[in-house]
């Protein structure tokens, strides 16, 4: 089979490797797609692994947002059979033609579910959709809250679609790209603000009759995103909630002075926060099957396995119209 190896910073090689022979507790999946994720961008750039900053060891293999079709099932694996469309977390490196799912490792049990039959399998990248499910499920958003979403990339747009399904009074979306703001409105945002043209704080104050926002989702992963959400969050009891889900992966300088007088509840809703990730994954795929997410519009760029490097270049410097990219072996 063919597999992509990161052999140095910014350089992939496509290598022929032996198709693995599966053990009784394993399942072989033919990869149909794997999402490109900013959490792996640091490894591609040679900065080290996310959060830890530890140096990389080459060659490295990436890809953790897979979707595919079961090719072979070990005799101890239950619930799956060849031909099943599957997605989830805990596959082997998935910028590859095949990946092995090992159910026999008690320290790292994979989470795998069947993908809905009515959606093309290459769109069913369960890991990031599950993460957005976690973000909203545990965000403490209540009916009637004023909600602010900073950043309308793939994750932010999924969050907006999820929030809109709850029938909230106002969902205020903010971004720097008009096309993304238009899509945010189509997905359920009631107010859209351009961070480069609008006075966001004044517009939020007017839209909320001076109340400001009950909950703010920060998905930018930069100090500016934290500053903005801190400025638009309410300061009346009970405290407002700031949800940090952007990847603040590298050291930087943050101004948290607004947290003192407002005393917001700040929650880091990254994947590990979930008490039941498998349930979140099941809910995410149910939502996909019911058409809550227009994935055919949110997944904007596709790359062949041999073009995986171009995909990471797009993550670093997004081309016009880029929201989410996938690699399709």
Ordered structural domains, the chain, with CATH: 2-128+273-328 (3.90.180.10), 139-268 (3.40.50.720)
Kindly tell me if the per-residue pLDDT of 287 is higher than 70: yes
Q: Give the model confidence (pLDDT) of 1-37 as tens digits.
A: 999 999 999 999 999 999 989 999 999 999 999 999 9
Q: Give the model confidence (pLDDT) of 174-205 as tens digits.
A: 999 999 999 999 999 999 999 999 999 999 99
Which of 136-140, 166-170, 227-231 comes out lowest in average pLDDT? 166-170
Mean pLDDT across 251-262 = 93
Q: Give the model confidence (pLDDT) of 28-77 as tens digits.
A: 999 999 999 998 998 999 886 655 556 678 999 999 999 999 999 999 99
Can you give the chain as a three-state secondary structure string?
CEEEEEEECCEEEEEECCCCCCCCCEEEEEEEEEECCHHHHHHHHCCCCCCCCCCCCCCECCCCCEEEEEEEECCCCCCCCCCCEEEEECECCCCECEEEEECCCCCCCCEEEECCCCCCHHHCCHHHHHHHHHHHHCCCCCCCCEEEEECCCHHHHHHHHHHHCCCCCEEEEEECCHHHHHHHHHHCCCEEEECCCCCHHHHHHHHCCCCCECEEEECCCCHHHHHHHHHHECCCCCCCEEEECCCCCCCCCCCCCCHHHHCCEEEECCHHHCCCHHHHHHHHHHHHHCCCCCHHHHEEEEEEHHHHHHHHHHHHCCCCCCCEEEEEC
Band the pLDDT of 81: cuts 50, 70, 90: very high
**What is the pLDDT at residue 111?**
96
Q: Give the model confidence (pLDDT) of 129-148 as tens digits.
A: 999 999 999 998 999 999 99
Q: Give the model confidence (pLDDT) of 258-279 as tens digits.
A: 999 999 999 999 888 999 999 9
Q: What is the pTM of this model?
A: 0.94
Mean pLDDT across 297-309 = 98
**What is the pLDDT at residue 54?**
62
**What is the pLDDT at residue 250?**
80
Share of the chain above pLDDT 90, in %: 88
- Average pLDDT of every residue of the chain: 94
**What is the pLDDT at residue 52?**
53
**What is the pLDDT at residue 49?**
61
**What is the pLDDT at residue 51?**
52
């Amino acid at each position: 089979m063919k597999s992509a190896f990161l052999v140095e910073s910014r350089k992939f090689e496509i290598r022929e490797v032996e198709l693995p022979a599966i053990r009784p507790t394993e399942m072989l999946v033919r990869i149909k797609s794997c999402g490109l994720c900013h959490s792996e961008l640091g490894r591609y750039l040679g900065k080290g692994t996310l959060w830890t900053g530890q140096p990389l060891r080459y060659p490295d293999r990436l890809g953790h947002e897979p979707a595919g079709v079961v090719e072979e099932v070990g005799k101890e694996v239950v619930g799956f059979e060849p031909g099943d469309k599957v997605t989830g977390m805990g596959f082997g490196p998935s910028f590859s033609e095949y990946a092995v799912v090992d159910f026999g490792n008690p320290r790292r049990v994979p989470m795998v579910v069947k993908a809905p039959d009515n959606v093309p399998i290459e769109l069913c990248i369960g890991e990031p959709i599950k993460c957005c499910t976690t973000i909203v499920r545990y965000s403490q958003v209540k009916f009637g809250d004023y909600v602010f979403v900073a950043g309308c990339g793939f994750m932010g747009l999924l969050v907006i679609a999820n929030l809109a399904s709850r029938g909230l009074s106002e969902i205020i979306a903010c971004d720097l790209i008009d096309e993304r703001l238009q899509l945010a409105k189509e997905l359920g945002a009631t107010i859209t603000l351009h961070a480069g043209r609008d006075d966001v704080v004044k517009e939020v104050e007017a839209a909320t009759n001076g109340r400001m926002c009950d909950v703010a989702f920060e998905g930018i992963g930069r100090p500016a995103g934290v500053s903005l959400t801190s400025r638009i969050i309410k300061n009346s009891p009970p405290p407002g909630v700031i949800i940090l889900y952007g990847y603040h992966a590298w050291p930087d300088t943050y101004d948290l002075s607004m947290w003192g007088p407002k005393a917001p509840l700040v929650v880091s809703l990254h994947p590990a926060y979930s008490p039941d990730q498998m349930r979140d994954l099941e809910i995410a795929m149910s939502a996909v099957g019911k058409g809550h997410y227009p994935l055919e519009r949110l997944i904007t760029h596709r790359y062949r396995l041999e073009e995986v490097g171009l995909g990471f270049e797009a993550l670093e410097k997004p081309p016009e119209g880029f929201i989410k990219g996938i690699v399709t072996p």
